[in-house]
Every structure is written in C-alpha cells, then in structure tokens.
Amino acid sequence: MTDVLDYYRQPGLITGPGPYASHLDHLPTDIGALCKIVQGVTIHIFWAERYGLKLSEERKAEVELRTLPRRLERTLELDQRPLTEERSLEKKLVGNCRDFSVLLVSILRHQGRPARARCGFGTYFLPNHFEDHWVVEYWNELQKRWILVDAQLDPFQCKAMNIPFDPLDVPRDQFIVGGRAWQMSRREGADPDTFGIFDMHGLGFIRGDFVRDVASLNKVELLPWDCWGIIEKPALDDPADLEFLDTLAGLTCMDVPDFATVRQLYETDDRLRVCGQFHSYTQAGMETVQIPI
C-alpha cells in the first residue's frame, strides 16, 4: 500500500501545477475548506445560468482547458488574488465536474496527500438515471480508507438536488465508478441506456467513462470528450475486447486493491494507454492532440 500511496502523492501529466505551484502553497488541509476554495474559483458550465451568470461562447471555451497550468493561468488572468479569495460569478473559471476534481486532486498532491480523480456516474442528478460525472478519491490516513468527495457540490447544488449524503464522503452506491457501471450493465441487468448525459448513453458511453477512469487511475485525467484506443472502436462485438474489459472492471470497480495489476495492464496495452496522440471531440469538431499536452 505504501508504494500506491506514494504514487498518488505525486503530480501527473495533467495535475502538475508547473510555474503556478506557489499558488497552491499555504492552503488549508481540511477537505471541506479545500472544496470551498475549488468552488470559489470555478463555475460549472451547465449550472452557470442557475447561479445567474450567462456565459459567452468565449467563456464557455474555458472548459476545453485541459491541464492544470493552463487552468491556473486563466484563473489568475480573471482574478489575480490568492485562490483562497472567492471570486464573483463572472470572475470564476468555467469548467465541469472533471475540472473541479482535477483542481482538488492537484492541491492534495501538492500537499503530499494521496489523491486521484475517478470517472463514472452519479445517481443523484436525475431520478432513475446514472449521470456522467467525476469525483475525487483521497486516502484518509486516520480512517485507513479511500474516500470519495464531490468537489462540485456546493450548498446551492445540494439544496437544488436535495442531496441526501455528505459530499465529503460520497457513498459508493451514489457514485458508480466506470468499471462498476460496466459490470452492472454487462452482468447484472442494468439498462445501459440509463447511463450517460444528454442524448449520449449506452454501453459504448459506459466504455468511454470506464477507460477514462483507468487512465485517471494512472494519472492521465483527460477531458470527458478525449478519446483513444479502445474507446474509439465503433463496435462492441470483439470477444477479446469484451473479456479484457470484464477483467479490468473487476480490478477497478471499487477502490482498486490490486493497483499493480491495473498499472501493468495500462502500461502494456495500447487499448488503454494514452500515448503519442489522441482525439478530442469538441463542439468545433475533432482535434488531434499530441503528447506531451
């Protein structure tokens, strides 16, 4: 376990703050206080109007900022004050659930605390629906367990959706990681069309979140519309691929007790590994992104 925790204490390709590291110094260590900081500098693209902010197309494009240095750069362009100072609505950086999660993960890693972003589905956005979503999983040393935290859920959202749990300790039946969603749909009779967002749903969509979760477990936390490897296969009819994903789901369906095997599979199988380049399917069309990003 020590090696695993050491791995998640270190920043990765996306979460390393680069030249903006000093802005993460001297932040509080309390998880609730850190979530408040994340919420104080970030506004969700799909919630903005409910807060009273109408976004221009230019501002909406901030959701395409992939790496933490680019997001911190833009955050400070909007408002140069320390991150501990809550921004007005128009000065908050536009993002989505993935961006709330990546910022919290980066802060925790900067503090030397094991943390990782998880991609999957929330049960708490719409009735009888599993909504495409990201949260944070951090290691609680006192309790000796990985705890899920939804850094997006501020008091306004909790009230609007009547959230029945503490966002700082999300129950595992309320946020379903990608591998668990795959198991539910493949083996347990769950309807794949109840997993997704907007008009995007089904087993192929679940596969995308599942593989993004595996990449995130390997510290490559890409955007929700970034695609590569097995995600881009048009059909789900290859027996070898299905068997491979079934096995992988069993390894990643909860808090990943056999991380060494997951790490080895990711590093050795091009169906999973992000390498060389990948495709990003934005509103403007498909873009080919080169690594390093």
Contacts of 164 (CB under 8 A, 6+ apart): 124
- Dihedrals φ, ψ of 125, to 5°? -95, -40
Confidence bin at 68 (pLDDT 50/70/90) = very high
Crossing angle between the packed helical segments 259-268 and 239-252, to the nearest 10 degrees: 150
Residue 67 forms part of a structural domain: no
Mean pLDDT of 262-290: 95
72-105 pLDDT, tens digit each: 999 999 999 999 999 999 999 999 999 999 999 9
Instruction: Give the per-residue pLDDT at 284.
Output: 85
Question: What mean pLDDT value characterizes the chain?
Answer: 97
155-204 pLDDT, tens digit each: 999 999 999 999 999 999 999 999 999 999 999 999 999 999 999 999 99
Q: For residues 95 and 45, is the Cβ–Cβ distance under 8 A? A: yes
What count of residues does the chain have? Answer: 293
Residue 89 forms part of a structural domain: no
Instruction: Give the separation between CA 111 and CA 106, rounded to whole angstroms.
Output: 9
Mean pLDDT of 231-253: 97
Domain residues for the domain of 162 are 2-10+98-290
pLDDT at 131 over 80: yes
Instruction: Give the separation between CA 219 and CA 16, rounded to whole angstroms.
Output: 10
- Dihedrals φ, ψ of 108, to 5°? -65, -45
Instruction: Give the separation between CA 108 and CA 106, rounded to whole angstroms.
Output: 5
Contacts of 209 (CB under 8 A, 6+ apart): 119, 120, 121, 132, 178, 181, 195
Instruction: Give the per-residue pLDDT at 293.
Output: 84
Residue 125 forms part of a structural domain: yes
pLDDT at 137 over 70: yes
Residue 55 forms part of a structural domain: no
The amino acid that residue 101 corresponds to is: S
Contacts of 4 (CB under 8 A, 6+ apart): 114, 259
Residue 193 forms part of a structural domain: yes
Residue 268 forms part of a structural domain: yes
Residue 189 forms part of a structural domain: yes
Instruction: Give the per-residue pLDDT at 268.
Output: 97
Instruction: Give the per-residue pLDDT at 292.
Output: 86
Mean pLDDT of 201-209: 98
Instruction: Give the per-residue pLDDT at 1.
Output: 65
Mean pLDDT of 259-288: 95
Domain tally, the chain: 1
Tokens of 13: 């390709």
Residue 21 forms part of a structural domain: no
pLDDT at 2 over 80: no
Task: Evaluate if pTM is beyond 0.95.
Answer: yes
Mean pLDDT of 265-274: 97
